[in-house]
Amino acid sequence: MKCLNYHQARILCLFILHSPVAITMSKPYRSAANTYKYQVFPVEGMDNFYTIYVAGEVVTVEIDPEAESDPKKILEWRVVNTNKSRLMFITTNGFGYVLYNKTYVKPVKRPSGYLLSGNFIMLGDNKVIHAQLVLEYSTDPFTYLDLLYFNESSQEPQLEIVDQIKWFTSEDGKHLSHWNILTHIFIGDKLYIAIGRDLVAQGQISIMRLCLNQGDAILSSAVEVYFEAEFAAKAYFVYKLGKLDDESKRFSLLVERNYAGQQLVGSYERYFIDNYSTIFDEVAENCAKGVDGYITMHDVITFNNKGCQPRIVTTCSFPKFYIPSYKLNLEKHLEPKTMLRLFVIHDGYPFEETRFIFLEGISFYDCPLSSINAALSPECTPKYPYDINRYFFYFNYITSTLFWLDQEAKTFGHTNFNCERFKDCFSCIMFGYNSKCTWDNVYCKSNSSFVDATSASVNFCFKITNFKPRSLAEGSKSKRIFINFIGVPDWRADLDFKIYVKIGSDSCDKLTFVYEPEAGYKVICQMDIRRVGKFKINVTFAYEHYGNSIPIVAISNNFITFRSAGQTDGTILFAQIFALFLVFMVFFIAVLFIFCPCDGKGRKRARKRLSSEISLRMRSISRTISGINHKSMNPKLKWKLMTRLKGKSSSESSRSGSRY
């Protein structure tokens, strides 16, 4: 073994220390995929129990009233981790706390003077992106974004500042009068943040992209595009996962604006960002090349148009204080003037619909975006009466349902998810199971009782009806397996819909999903045999974008046999040998009938000759079977063949003796 010298070892050590560990962001839940504000939701029917959502992870905890007696304050916690025994959270007063074993609350130690006010984006793994809220010009230094780590493992839990995007120079505070995170969305291994900022008399909205695979260096991956826009009260990303006729409409930002003097009336503007997945890479590359029109974020804020200086960068790693920037000229799509919402929900795939919850008098309404011109339009669904002085309404991103807090009684009420919106068994179970939806032969319905996930998803929505061949050998020219099934809906052709076929411990190397008018839906599985034996076929349909969608599975009732190269199927081998034996016996008996003398001595000689011949043939067959490779036939099948042949020979000998 070759040893490393000192310099090689030192370089290796430095490489390991500085190699970024990717932030392992879990898959978001269906209704929380675009953005979410609240993370704590009451468990229906269980007092003092709450379900907590943190960056795609869910945990249910009990919170003793001695730790916090006000349910409204609990619902407003910004929770950092999912450790039940040491639950770390941020309150609205700007402090961090730790809840020990549901009963005892202790403050988190933080750097002197650091206040947890503004906006937070939970990344999981106890990491948080924090943006301070800037509302006026300032000569005091501030930071644009902070990466924080809440250390729960230390004896005294504490807040650590991992990295920051600080103001670039003292000139920043002279130009910037407003900085606020409006919304954010996780798409794959990227984080997109919409930021509202005011520069002197110019309003802008910046969309900043960060790369999660950069780990603690995530802030060094920042790149932005921006466009001019008036001051935005709120904004919401709308991202559609399904098939679209116009790909430019997949990613957009919905901006809410208030009318002066009218607190409950406003309007919405929509901005579509075309080629969102590549435009940020193009900005980074062109900025590195010094292309005209591409500058840095600092130049934008200080109105300096000197442009990017050529340098070597990658699309997800930039030098300190180097944030590539580019101005977009986006078309503003105006939505009708309407009543202001309580909140906005993007109902994810398969609905792909943005819905608004409106207040109208003492009632509130659930309306799709297409009908927000009138809160009382036919498309809107009226909900329960709303008393602004008594009830607070929230949206549960885990179950996709509304709930409310009775501030006087300190109790919660819940709505049921409208399961009938799912039109087939697949979508009902795959996307509706966590909303308590079950399939009842012809329609999807709500079910308050618990249904086991396996019972609801395995051999329920669809079943394997047939597959061929039933046996396959290593080295076969054709390595394709044809699997037919019933129960698959038409939307199965969606590009984001995944199919997996597993046979034993191996999976198909190549899959083709086809439809035949006579045979129905079929999967063609092509795979190399890596393990011999008998296995059932497992076909799984999954939608992998959401953490709370469950896979739909079908398992075959029959087995498929994989054989080693040169091996003969045991059943075929048995049939071939047995057929040859029967042909021989019929032929030999016929010869005896024709040539055998009819006196007593002849019968004795014939019987002796027949017995001797059968024994000879049996020894020959036994040697043939023994010569077969031990892998070519199951030992039980070999024993069964020998037994049946010996039994047959004894029977024939007996009959020949009695006949003659």
pLDDT, residue 449, reads 82
Q: Which residues pair with 512 in a beta bridge?
A: 524
pLDDT, residue 427, reads 92
Q: What are phi and psi of 233, to 5 degrees?
A: -70, -45
pLDDT, residue 657, reads 46
Which amino acid, residue 136?
E
Specify whether the CB–CB gap between 203 and 216 falls below 8 A: no
CB neighbours (10 Å) of residue 597? 10
Query: Which tops the pLDDT comparison, 46 or 256?
Result: 46
Q: What is the DSSP letter of 548?
A: T
Specify whether the CB–CB gap between 202 and 178 falls below 8 A: no
Token pair of 611 as six digits: 């017995």
Query: Which tops the pLDDT comparison, 638 or 459?
Result: 459
- Reported as a pLDDT band with limits 50, 70 and 90, residue 14 is very low
The ranges assigned to domains in the chain are 167-335, 459-563, 570-659
User: What average pLDDT is seen over the chain?
Assistant: 81
pLDDT, residue 89, reads 97
CATH number of 459-563: 2.60.40.10
Which amino acid, residue 294?
Y
Token pair of 297 as six digits: 């974020």
- Reported as a pLDDT band with limits 50, 70 and 90, residue 631 is very low
Mean pLDDT of 23-45: 84
For 368, the 3-state DSSP assignment is strand
Asked whether residue 355 carries a pLDDT value surpassing 90, the answer given is no
Burial 54-84 (b: 16+ CB within 10 A, else e): bbbbbeebebeeebbeebeebbbbbbbbbee
Query: Where in 583-638 does DSSP place strands (E)?
Result: none
Mean pLDDT of 9-14: 37
Which range (43-52, 240-249, 253-262, 495-504) has the least confidence? 253-262
pLDDT, residue 1, reads 39
Closest C-alpha to 611, from 576, 657, 573? 657
**444-466, pLDDT tens digit by residue?**
999 888 888 888 999 999 999 99
Which range (89-98, 264-273, 455-464, 601-610) has the least confidence? 601-610
Asked whether residue 321 carries a pLDDT value surpassing 70, the answer given is yes
Cα separation, 276 vs 280, whole angstroms:
7
Mean pLDDT of 564-582: 59
For 172, the 3-state DSSP assignment is helix
Asked whether residue 650 carries a pLDDT value surpassing 70, the answer given is no
Q: Express the helix, strand and coil content of the chain in percent, nearest 5 each.
A: 25, 40, 40
For 64, the 3-state DSSP assignment is coil
Asked whether residue 79 carries a pLDDT value surpassing 50, the answer given is yes
Query: Which tops the pLDDT comparison, 134 or 606?
Result: 134
Query: Which tops the pLDDT comparison, 373 or 618?
Result: 618
Cα separation, 124 vs 121, whole angstroms:
9
Mean pLDDT of 516-523: 79
